[in-house]
A = this chain, B = another copy of it.
Amino acid sequence: MKRSERLVAMTNYLLEHPQKLISLPYFAETLNAAKSSISEDLDIVNDMFQREGIGKLVTIAGAAGGVKYIPQLSKEKAERFIESLCKRLEDPGRLLPGGYLYMSDLLGDPETVRNIGKIFASAFAEKDIEYVITVATKGIPIAYATANVLNVPVIIVRRDPKVTEGSTVSINYVSGSSRKIQTMVLSKRSLPEGSNVCIIDDFMKAGGTINGMKSLLAEFQANVNGIGVLAEAEDEEEERIVTDYISLIQIQDVDLNENKIEVVKGNYFKG
């Protein structure tokens, strides 16, 4: 196989298998080339991945070694994407009764969701994440998008037990904003004890849901190594009960009378 052909095959394979160690002999055999040629190919791929701002290849030497693609959306690309997302959210047509914002179209757009996942995955790339946890239902797409890039499974916490989940662990918690008692359940067999996890959700107000998830995960002795929310509400009347999180956007002000929404970049882009 020619170098040009190998490069197309390798680029595709690496993009499809993020975070996975691939041995050089694997490429040498499937692409029918010398290991030295494969090494040169990988240098080219690595250069281009970095130039395109989509990540890098990490080479691990030795008999058990190989190459691993670490996806990483550059901070500039991430920032540009989030700025455009803020603009789209400021459209007054999104205002719903009660001061809520319509966001389902954005969370339904695959490219938007993929980009959000890439940003979270880049933020948590060094955190040794083994599982991405979210709560049904709005956080599910961005949790999968994140897990796709981290190449780890997704686990979904539910509001009600389902017969298809087997035995479950459940907790009651107090919702931060409405002060209502709510329930969360997680299938017992879904998460091995002592796992390293990150929590992903679409929206955080006071943080009651995230806090509830932390309590539930404590039942599994899980280590919460990262918390990422797409949007956080800026709400000064309430005290936030979760503080160790990253947010991509912040909904600063929703004014139903003036028909105005103000959305800014979240804490991930600050400081």
Whether A110 contacts B52 in the complex (CB less than 8 A), given A5-B44, A15-B12, comes out as no
- Which of B108, B136, B164 is within 8 Å of A153, CB to CB? B108
Binding site secondary structure of chain A = helix
**Restricting to A90-122, which residues have a CB under 8 Å from any CB of B?**
96-98, 100-105, 108-111, 113-114
**Restricting to A126-164, which residues have a CB under 8 Å from any CB of B?**
136-138, 140-141, 144-145, 147-148, 151-156, 158, 163-164
Q: Which residue of B is nearest A189, CB measured? A: B102
Q: Copies of this chain, how many?
A: 2
Return A112 CB to nearest CB of chain B, in Å: 9
Return A145 CB to nearest CB of chain B, in Å: 8
- Which of B9, B140, B166 is within 8 Å of A141, CB to CB? B140
Provide a sorted-by-A list of 5 A–B residue pairs whose CB atoms are within 8 angstroms. A8-B49, A11-B12, A12-B48, A96-B166, A110-B152
Residues on the B chain within 8 Å of A100, using CB: 163-164
Residue of A153, A156, A158 ringed by the most chain B CB atoms within 10 A? A153
A residues in contact (CB < 8 Å) with B = 3-5, 7-9, 11-12, 15, 44-45, 47-49, 51-52, 54, 96-98, 100-105, 108-111, 113-114, 136-138, 140-141, 144-145, 147-148, 151-156, 158, 163-166, 187, 189-190
Residues on the B chain within 8 Å of A5, using CB: 44, 47-48
Return A180 CB to nearest CB of chain B, in Å: 14
Q: Which residue of B is nearest A149, CB measured? A: B110
Q: Is the CB of A108 within 8 A of B154?
A: yes
Residues on the B chain within 8 Å of A166, using CB: 96, 102
Query: What 9 A-B pairs come out closest when comparing CB atoms?
Result: A8-B48, A11-B11, A108-B153, A108-B154, A110-B148, A136-B137, A7-B7, A137-B137, A140-B140
